[in-house]
């Protein structure tokens, strides 16, 4: 089978490549290969009743399938170069922002219209933060919410399904490169194409490593982010979340001069489990639909850990810390802030007596037995700093869930076109190690589609 262009992975990166290619050059023959299911078949069996924990499905519906890892996410599209990836280092700051705005316009056209765009521009909180040694990062945030995010994906699929050949439940095993032609190998089938866009995200990281090794493409990896998810009454942060929705705040610790940052803020949201390769970590969601909202707000506090020679396995380090929490708690551990600073574990009774009702059933325990001291000290310092701009953050009953881990893909060696040394082979999205967010991954997809079209013209 011959295609002009093959796309591997139907996450935001792959979807926006396909969208842009079919919009601008409808006569091109484009295929999308996706290891996971089509959108309507994506269903995680954990229902909290019959199935309480991960049963290790062959294809994880949370991470894989049409929509990628972001399909059931909170759908926060952060339009900024300040976080979410380093796409701007390759394509320039202005172009990166323009493409993120373009992605936003498409999301609005396909069902997102009416959702709110928040912005830090002109916010009074910048000054308040800096007065307390905190830095508020610049961003506009489109919050689609889990429900509308799904609708947008459905509409994009309906737009694409007759213009692109989709191959679901089709993990690509290998890419072969010979004489300027790429062969995509899946099971017994071989598909040839002139250009190949690889957008396999976090779940495809190991596979990506193998492809890079086989095709002699250099990679590097040295970072993992570790921390906790904080849950507190929504009113404590409402002055910030009402105006900004998500505030990305950075604090530089006095003790170690480490940066601790807030991540993935979910006003009126819920704390959820996340299963990565059998290791249970914590994350958060929130819904646009008011009927599904809670009285709590949650966000992560993370510390980035960079390793130097001779250690290369930063993700392995993060996994080991997460495994420790799973060993002690059978999954995620929850602890009251008051118990943590008093050096004692939380118990079911202390949590029940507290003023914050947990939205995730986690095991009460002691996070100081899990997280490295340096990281935990930084998190405690930041909670006290946040207490100055959002009084109540450092209350005894504030809940901390651990651990939250952000794994990073290794960075693939790419040029300013996001192209490998094999001309015509592009790597985009989180699988490239360059992006870590919906907006950056989507923007990289549009960028590469346009680059390919310009070269084919
Ligand atoms: C629970 C959760 C919540 C999140 N919330 C947010 C948020 O609110 N805002 C935000 O900016 N980001 C969020 N993220 C991160 C965001 O989802 C990712 O940054 C984004 O999805 C990356 O897009 P991508 O296309 O690069 O990769 P992915 O979305 O990971 O898609 C890659 C696709 O490739 C497929 N694939 C992998 N290997 C192969 C193979 N060998 N053959 C064929 N297919 C393959 C996978 O099945 C997958 O569907 C969240 C992530 C999670 C897990």
Which atom of ligand 1 lies at the shortest distance from residue 203's CA? Answer: 37
Q: Is the dihedral of CA 139, 405, 215, 185 positive or negative?
A: negative
Q: Each residue of 305-320: pLDDT tens digit?
A: 988 888 888 888 999 9
CA distances from 19 to 119, 182, 400, 449, 453 (A): 27, 21, 41, 9, 13
**For a substitution probing ligand 1, which of 9, 57, 429 has the most ligand atoms within 8 Å of its CB?**
9
At 25 the pLDDT is 98
Q: How far is CA 319 from the centre of its chain?
A: 17
CA dihedral 383, 285, 270, 366 (to 10 degrees): -50
Digit-coded pLDDT (tens) for 84-141: 999 999 999 999 999 999 999 999 999 999 999 999 988 899 999 999 999 999 999 9
Q: Which helix (H) or strand (E) holds 190?
A: strand 189-198
Ligand 1 binding pocket includes 440 (Cβ within 6 Å):
no
pLDDT at 56 > cutoff 80? no
Between CA 360 and CA 371 the distance in angstroms is 20
Question: Ligand 1: which atom is nearest the Cα of residue 272?
Answer: 1
Which atom of ligand 1 is found nearest the CA of 77?
A: 11
Q: Is 207 in the pocket of ligand 1 (CB under 6 A)?
A: yes
For the chain, how many residues are written? Answer: 457
Contact between residue 32 and residue 3 where contact means Cβ atoms under 8 Å apart: no
Q: Which atom of ligand 1 is nearest to the CA of 432?
A: 26
Strand-pairing partners, residue 142, are 77, 117
Task: Report residue 249: phi and psi, to 5°.
Answer: -120, 135
Q: Residue 51 has what pLDDT? A: 80
Mean pLDDT of the chain: 94
With a 6 A CB cut-off, is 431 part of the ligand 1 pocket? yes
What are the E-state strand segments in 307-437? 333-336, 363-364, 399-407, 411-412, 425-427
Query: In angstroms, what is the span from residue 431 Cα to ligand 1's centroid?
Result: 9
What is residue 53's predicted lDDT score, i.e. its pLDDT? 67
404-442 confidence digits (pLDDT tens): 999 888 999 999 999 999 999 999 999 999 999 999 999
Tell me what pLDDT residue 70 has. Answer: 80
74 lines ligand 1 (CB under 6 A): yes
Residue 61 predicted with pLDDT over 90:
no
- CB distance 274 to 62 below 8 Å: yes
Contact call for residues 134 and 385 (beta carbons, < 8 A): yes
**What confidence tier does 33 reach under pLDDT thresholds 50, 70, 90?**
very high
Helices and strands (H and E) in the chain: how many: 12, 22
Q: Which atom of ligand 1 is nearest to the CA of 445?
A: 25
CA–CA dist 321, 112 (Å, integer): 38
Torsional class of 376: left (φ above 0), alpha (ψ -120 to 50), beta (otherwise): alpha
Distance CA 231, CA 82 (A): 25
Cβ of 438 closer than 6 Å to ligand 1, yes or no, is yes
Q: Which residue has the tokens 């990565």?
A: 276
Please say if the pLDDT value at position 225 is more than 80: yes
């Amino acid at each position: 089978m011959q295609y002009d262009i093959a796309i591997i992975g139907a996450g935001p990166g792959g979807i926006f490549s396909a969208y842009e290619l079919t919009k601008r050059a409808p006569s091109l023959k484009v295929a999308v290969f996706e290891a996971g299911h089509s959108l309507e078949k994506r269903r995680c069996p954990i229902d909290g009743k019959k199935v309480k924990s991960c049963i290790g499905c062959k294809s994880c519906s949370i991470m894989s399938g049409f929509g990628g890892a972001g399909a059931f996410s909170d759908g926060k599209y952060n339009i900024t170069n300040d976080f979410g990836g380093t796409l701007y280092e390759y394509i320039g700051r202005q172009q990166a922002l323009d493409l993120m705005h373009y992605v936003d316009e498409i999301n609005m056209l396909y069902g997102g219209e009416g959702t709110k765009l928040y912005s830090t521009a002109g916010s009074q909180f910048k000054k308040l933060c800096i007065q307390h040694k905190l830095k508020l990062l610049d961003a506009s945030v489109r919050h689609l919410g889990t429900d509308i995010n799904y609708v947008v994906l459905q509409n994009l699929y309906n737009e694409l399904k007759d213009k692109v050949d989709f191959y679901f439940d089709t993990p690509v095993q290998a890419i072969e490169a010979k004489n300027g032609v790429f062969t995509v190998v899946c099971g017994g089938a071989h598909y040839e194409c002139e250009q190949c866009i690889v957008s396999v995200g976090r779940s495809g990281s190991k596979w990506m490593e193998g492809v890079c090794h086989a095709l002699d493409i250099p990679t590097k990896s040295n970072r993992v982010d570790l921390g906790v998810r904080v849950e507190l009454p929504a009113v404590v942060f409402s002055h910030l979340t009402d105006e900004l929705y998500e505030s990305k705040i950075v604090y530089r610790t006095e003790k170690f001069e480490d940066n601790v940052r807030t991540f993935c803020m979910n006003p009126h949201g819920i704390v959820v489990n996340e299963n990565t390769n059998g290791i249970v970590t914590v994350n958060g969601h929130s819904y646009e639909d008011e009927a599904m909202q809670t009285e709590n707000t949650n966000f992560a506090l993370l510390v980035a850990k960079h390793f130097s020679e001779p250690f290369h396995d930063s993700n392995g380090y993060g996994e080991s810390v997460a495994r420790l929490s799973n060993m002690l708690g059978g999954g995620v551990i929850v602890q009251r802030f008051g118990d943590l600073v008093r050096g004692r574990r939380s118990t079911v009774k202390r949590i029940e007596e507290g003023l914050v009702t947990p939205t995730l059933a986690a095991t009460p325990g002691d996070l100081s037995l899990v997280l490295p001291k340096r990281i935990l000290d930084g998190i405690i310092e930041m909670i006290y700093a946040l207490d100055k701009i959002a009084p109540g953050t450092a209350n005894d009953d504030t809940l901390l869930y651990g651990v939250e881990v952000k794994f990073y893909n290794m960075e693939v060696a790419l040029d300013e076109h996001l192209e490998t040394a094999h001309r015509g082979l592009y790597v985009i999205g989180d699988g490239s190690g360059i992006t870590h967010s919906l907006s950056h991954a989507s923007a990289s997809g549009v960028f590469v589609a346009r680059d390919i079209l310009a070269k084919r013209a």
